[in-house]
Amino acid sequence: MFGNVEEQKTIFNGGFEAIIGLAYPKLAEKGIKPVFDNMMDQHLLKSNLFAFYLTNKNEGMESDITFGYYDTNKFIGKIVWHPIVFEYMFGIKLDDIKIGGKSLGICGKGGLMEGKECIITVDSGSSEFAMPEIIYDKLPSIGIPTMEMSVGCEDFTKMTLTYVINGVEYSIDP
């Protein structure tokens, strides 16, 4: 028992209804099968997938999670599927990260991670971007803000972040 409702609301700042662990069984507590694996084992799902829709409530729709399907009304474009290469926390192959269209030179030949597997974790349970320390330490030298170094607002417009995953570019404007 976690206490009364008031105590629970103070932990999460209200608005949460549950915490659902969706990682692979290797990450679960010993002897506990994750809820999604239980659903698959019981053949409860139309398809063995889940989807998150995350939004700002000001946009008119609420965030949600679906099991067994994804809501085609909640995205524009085509879904691109990427293979999981790290079955612990949904790790997928990362080709590169670009800032303002410029490669950070992380993965591949001559990159900071040369000779090492270059992956990125798709994790709904974290609000922060995690990366190897060798990459993080390089960011200030190329003008990328970190917790220890900020940039002025006028420089921020150049900060379009692009993840290159299996040859597909996903850009996030500042």
Residue 139 CA from chain centroid, whole number: 20
Q: What Å distances lie between residue 51 and 18, 22, 47, CA to CA?
A: 16, 11, 11
Question: What CATH number does the domain containing 141 carry?
Answer: 2.40.70.10
Least Cα distance to 35 among 17, 22, 19 occurs for 22
Q: What are the beta bridge partners of residue 92?
A: 84, 120
Instruction: Tell me the per-residue pLDDT of 60-103, one tens digit each, with 9 for 90 and over.
Output: 778 888 999 999 988 889 999 999 988 887 888 889 888 888 88
Q: Give the residue from 74, 95, 112 where a domain finishes.
A: 74
Q: Whole domain around residue 14: which residue ranges?
A: 5-74
Same domain for 66 and 92? no
CA distance 28 to 22: 9
Same domain for 126 and 56? no
Q: Rounded to two decimals, what is the model's pTM?
A: 0.72
Same domain for 101 and 151? yes
